[in-house]
Chains A and B, each alone.
Chain A
Amino acid sequence: MPAISMTVNGEKVCGDVEGRTLLVDFIRGNLGKTGTHVGCDTSQCGACVVHVDGKAIKSCTALAVACDGATVNTVEGLATNGKLHPMQEAFREHHGLQCGFCTPGMIMAGIDIVKRKGKKLKEETIREELEGNICRCTGYHNIVKAIQAGAAKM
């Protein structure tokens, strides 16, 4: 089994994985960080979105070995010194979550949208950019608001 190492939420981690092990399974299984979720098996739902070397990816669609040496950030790594990231705070303030299952992926995707599109986001842009994230609970109404507000505060 290949040994891999990466920096996850600022911490050096390593582990032995099979060649077929997915990044999400490494994060959830080996590292015990269960904030990153799995909602589908066709790379559609976005519950598994994490940042790898600064870019949002679907961790269900990347092999752990392919991320050897990478810097990975998950939802658990967003708050610093107990202070929530503005995007996390915005989801709470705007009721952008109900069951919470899609939420980590939504927050990680939201931050990535801001990185790519800037802090002033139009509703239409957010809706288009969320193409790869499914939420069954909220009807997206408050998620869109939360991302807009979170973006402005980032």
Chain B
Amino acid sequence: MSDTGIGARMLRKEDHRFITGKGRYTDDINLPGQAVGYFLRSPHAHAEIKKIDIKKAEKAPGVLCVLTGEDAAADNIGGVICGWMIHSKDGSPMKAGPHPVLAQGKVRHVGDQVAVVVAHTMAQAKAAAEMINVTYKVLDANVDPVASQKRGTPQVHDVASKNTVFEWELGDKAATEAAFASAAHITSLDLVNNRLAPNAMEPRAAIGSYDEGEDHYTLYTTSQNPHVARLVISAFVGLAPEHKLRVIAPDVGGGFGSKIFIYAEEVVCLWASKRAGGVPVKWVADRSEAFLTDANGRDHVTKAELATDSNGRITGLRAKTIANMGAYLSTFASSVPTYLYATLLSGQYNIPAIYAEVDAVYTNTSPVDAYRGAGRPEATYVVERLMETAARELGMDPADFRAKNFVNSFPHQTPVIMCYDAGDYGASQKKAMEMIDYAGFEKRKAASARKGKLRGIGFSNYIEACGIAPSAAVGSLGAGVGLWESAEVRVNPVGTVEILTGSHSHGQGHETTFAQLVSDRLGIPADQVAIVHGDTDKVQFGMGTYGSRSGAVGMTAISKALDKIEAKAKKVAAHVMEASESDVEFKDGSFSVKGTDKKMAFGEVALSAYVAHKFPTSEIEPGLKEGAFHDPTNFTFPAGCHICELEVDADTGVTEIVDWVAVDDFGNVINPMIVEGQVHGGIAQGIGQALTEAVVYDEGGQLLTGSYMDYCMPRADNLPSFKLGFTKTECPSNPLGIKGCGEAGAIAAPAAVMNALTSALGVKDVPMPATPQNVWNAMAHLREAAE
């Protein structure tokens, strides 16, 4: 293995600019003459807009324009859309209410955008916004998703009666009912998967710029998928056709899903720039605005049951989930609690019958969509909490109970669509148990007890489906787009290489890992490779980065393009070296002719391809540039075993995680250092969900967790260092054998923490986040017993 090839712990190429303060995030960009946009937002969760008086504001100092929903309608600016169609059990299509870029007639959540003020300075814009007079008729709010479908609950959208977006099902209902009817034991749990705010540290931002001379728009935005943003803004919002709109997503400071979506503010900045006579309009969310308007994650309420026979084998699983969509259907919202959730309810186990029902509901809260893991953390939480609870109820060791039910022959078709292609779940569990010294747990528990601490241990054997996704398959399930990826390889005459990719890096380190692939394949140093991404004018098209897809899908596209480069370079080399093409070999960066000492370095062949003196250009075109689109044949299935060990202070309810082992199977790994970093970050987010984080609204729909004072982000001292291990089964559905690692930690972690915590306390459930107060309440039985 070279220092820069596949498998090397190569340091990141992108780091230099970030550690020296030279990163270029959207807010670091300032266009000449730029003005600022400031959004006036609804203070009410639910209200009719009777009147908006902007006269005074328009005349305020420094103001260029004030725009409302009426103006948007007059200019035919369409709303933002949800791109995944889900059908209810009865065959009816989901009920998507309109989502205008500025409210029209009604506001539906606190923070809903009502008007935008464009002014020279932020102070001027804010002062003018104060002068806008909005007359509201305040309506009762619908905040609790469980009450949302009840009669008498206020209606968020007229099109969705009983606030129901869809009532969806998956699996074989009759077979599952039969399994439960004949079960020896049934384990049931009522679980709440708490609502989370993604909180990328860089708040969302956008600069819209309209060029009157060219009738052309440019958008700088904090996006994980600039091409999809351009597609939606063109085809659905109808602002401008694609060739008249350039979208640039420069350095992006984290996304975790929340920057996949197309948001109203991006559209409004573009449109407002035109309305302001071509002055660029910049908007940067402050953190309070992010809490009010970024799409949230999770927010499921689930009743889940597991049926087992008298031998401890699982015979069935069923789940009924209410999924909160918030006030509007965000870009991919409908896919999250359906095809990204229920399709993973088989976990790592042989489960003959599964049936899931999901009701998606509107509430007067900000929209909910994909957040790191998207559906799969919710599924893992259901399955792994059920597994641990069932084992306890059956008096079995949770590890043995799992092992007894593992899938161990592949391919394995689950009853819920997915076909697992490769894995070795027993190997990961065994390694994790060794790493944490599972056998020594009882001793450690006794030692903790002597210090007055309750010690617990919990497993989470997650599986997820990523490398999203085969286009025809997702199309048949309702996706409005295909989920392939594109790549272009441009070899320069001197032999350096530019890779244009539709993937977008916002922390994942693509500039390094993609360069490693090229270095490995072409035998050139990684510093002779540049990765170009995030600009629709440079990269022709791409589907972006989410669903741990940039490795399995994005890099496979690059690999395919490299195949074509190699094939053409061979042809050129054959002519230059006057050999037959079949005698030319390419290895370690040079082309040689079998049985001779003739040899050419990759760079020499590149130069020959451009000079074009030594081959017939009627047969071989000059130049060396190839492109490829790759559509995956299956999802990839990373899986593993996380074990959490924690201590609870019985006097205060404070939980401390004292040990964490994660053993993951990601197939082949390009850069172990980067993969480990992804796992660390994912686990931290999962622990955050389990112990500290929750988005909370009061009964009237006011957000109570609107800043870092109230929304508790995990800090360094809430977390341990993590012990990581790896096992490997190669992924058969892509040539690199890789699976994807971006979401695994966040998917696995919450169940591991909560299984450990419930084991420590000897209770069935503690609500997430398990704050000291929630833990204290869950310990009431212990205090009573002590009295």
**Interface residues of A, Cβ cutoff 8 Å to B:** 18, 20, 28, 33-42, 44-45, 47, 74-76, 78-79, 84, 88, 91-93, 95, 97-104, 107, 123, 126-128, 130-131, 133-144
Contact = CB atoms under 8 A, between A and B. Distances in A.
B201 A45 contact: yes
Contact of B20 (A18, A76, A139, A140): A76
Between A28, A33, A103, A141, the greatest number of chain B beta carbons within 10 A of the residue's beta carbon is seen for A141
Interface string B666-679: 00000001101110
Contacts, number: 176
Contacts of B25: 34, 37, 101
Contacts of B24: 34
B508 A88 contact: no
A42 B680 CA distance: 26
A35 B18 CA distance: 8
Given A92-B12, A136-B254, A42 B716 contact: no
Contacts of A103: 18-19
Given A41-B707, A127-B716, A139-B684, A134 B201 contact: yes
Between B12, B18, B123, B674, the greatest number of chain A beta carbons within 10 A of the residue's beta carbon is seen for B18
B253 interface: yes
A102 B681 CA distance: 13
B715 interface: yes
Contacts of B630: none
A39 B721 contact: no
B507 interface: yes
Contacts of A38: 27, 203, 286
Contact-residue size bin, chain B (C-beta under 8 Å from the other chain): 35 or more
A95 B677 contact: yes
Contacts of B27: 34, 38
Contact of A36 (B21, B203, B682, B717): B21
Contact of B254 (A18, A84, A137, A141): A137
Given A40-B707, A88-B20, A99 B684 contact: no
B681 A139 contact: yes
B121 to A, nearest CB: 10
Nearest to B121: A18
Contacts of A28: 28
A99 B21 contact: no
A100 B251 contact: yes
B716 A98 contact: no
6 contacts: A39-B287, A98-B254, A100-B23, A107-B19, A128-B716, A141-B677
Interface string B273-311: 000000000000011100000000000000000000000
A136 B199 contact: yes
Contacts of A88: 19-20
Between B12, B21, B713, B715, the greatest number of chain A beta carbons within 10 A of the residue's beta carbon is seen for B21
Contacts of A130: 715-717
Contacts of B227: none
A39 B205 CA distance: 12
B721 A123 contact: yes
Given A40-B708, A75-B20, A99-B507, A136 B685 contact: yes
A41 B256 CA distance: 21
Interface of B: 11-12, 14-25, 27-28, 123, 199-203, 251-254, 256, 286-288, 506-509, 673-674, 676-678, 680-685, 707-709, 713, 715-717, 719, 721-722, 745
Contacts of A78: 20
A141 B722 contact: yes
A90 to B, nearest CB: 9
B15 A39 contact: no
B201 A39 contact: yes
A126 B199 CA distance: 23
A138 B254 contact: no
What 5 A-B pairs have minimum CB-CB distances, sorted nearest first? A35-B21, A101-B253, A100-B18, A139-B684, A99-B507
A99 B721 CA distance: 20
Contacts of B681: 98, 136-139
Contacts of B508: 98
Contacts of B677: 95, 98, 137-138, 141-142
Nearest to B22: A35
A134 B713 CA distance: 8
Nearest to A105: B201
B685 to A, nearest CB: 7
A56 to B, nearest CB: 15
B240 to A, nearest CB: 29
Contacts of A102: 201
Contacts of A133: 716
B287 A139 contact: no
Given A45-B708, A134-B708, A140-B684, A95 B673 contact: yes
